[in-house]
Structure formats: C-alpha cells, structure tokens
C-alpha cells in the first residue's frame, strides 16, 4: 500500500479528520500536544492551515491527498474495502 501524505485543512469549524483517533477532531492546542506531537503519522502543519498526516491508504487517492471536507473524509474512511484475499478466505473457511 502506498504511503500517502494527507493534507488535512481545517474547515470553518476548525475540524480535521484524525486517522489515529478515527474521528473528527478540533485541531487545537490540546489535540496537537496530546496526540499529534507523539503521532508517527505527523508530517507537518500544512502551512499553518491544518495538519499533514502520512499513512498507508487503500483508497485510490492522489499523493498528496488534500482534504477540505473532513466530514466526507471521515465517511470515506469508514468504508472498508473487501479484497479477493478476504473473499477466498471466506470460501476456504466459510
Ligand atoms: S498527526 Fe496523528 S494525531 Fe494528528 S491529526 Fe494526524 S493522525 Fe491524528
């Protein structure tokens, strides 16, 4: 899986999608100090407009992947892809 740089820009409410916590978070001092500071995915402050997070992404997205709608990004990340290996496992053990 390719490592993708996700450039998560804060929306009007100051929210971004956090992969580590798998939810929308307010990108404030608490989030940055408690989570981003120690997160292995952290890759920068997106020019002061959000947060950059690098992680392996199964989806067919560009690199970098610029996120302007964290709500949509959250939804897209809840759809788990089912690949052929998973299906053949079901056939063998099902
Ligand atoms: S750097 Fe880590 S903790 Fe911070 S928003 Fe990205 S995934 Fe979440």
Q: pTM of the full predicted structure? A: 0.86
Cβ-contact 57, 1 below 8 angstroms? yes
Residue 93: the pLDDT is: 61
Residue 79: the pLDDT is: 85
Q: Which residue has the higher pLDDT, 9 or 90?
A: 9
Residue nearest to atom 6 of ligand 1 (CA): 53
Is pLDDT above 80 for 83? Answer: no
The per-residue pLDDT of the chain, averaged, comes to 91
Residue of 18, 23, 45, 74 to test ligand 1 pocket, by largest number of atoms within 8 Å of CB = 18
Q: How confident is the model at residue 1 (pLDDT cuts 50, 70, 90)?
A: confident
Residue of 31, 36, 50, 64 to test ligand 1 pocket, by largest number of atoms within 8 Å of CB = 36
Q: Which residues line ligand 1 (CB under 6 A)?
A: 16, 18-21, 35-36, 39, 41-42, 51, 53
Q: Which residues of 51-90 are buried (b: 16+ CB within 10 A; e: fewer)?
A: bbbbeebeeeeeeeeebeebeebbeeeeeeeeeeeeeeee
Is pLDDT above 60 for 89? Answer: no
**Rounded Cα–Cα distance for residues 91 and 78 (Å):** 25
Helix boundaries (H) for 7-48: 29-34
Give me the mean pLDDT over the 67-87 stretch: 83
């Amino acid at each position: 899986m390719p490592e993708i740089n996700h450039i998560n820009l804060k929306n009007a409410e100051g929210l971004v999608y956090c992969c580590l916590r798998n939810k929308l978070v307010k990108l404030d001092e608490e989030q940055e100090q408690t989570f981003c500071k120690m997160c292995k995915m952290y890759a920068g402050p997106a020019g002061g407009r959000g947060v950059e997070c690098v992680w392996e992404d199964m989806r067919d997205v560009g690199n970098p992947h610029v996120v302007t709608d964290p709500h949509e990004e959250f939804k897209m990340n809840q759809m788990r892809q089912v690949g052929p290996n998973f299906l053949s496992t079901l056939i063998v053990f099902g």
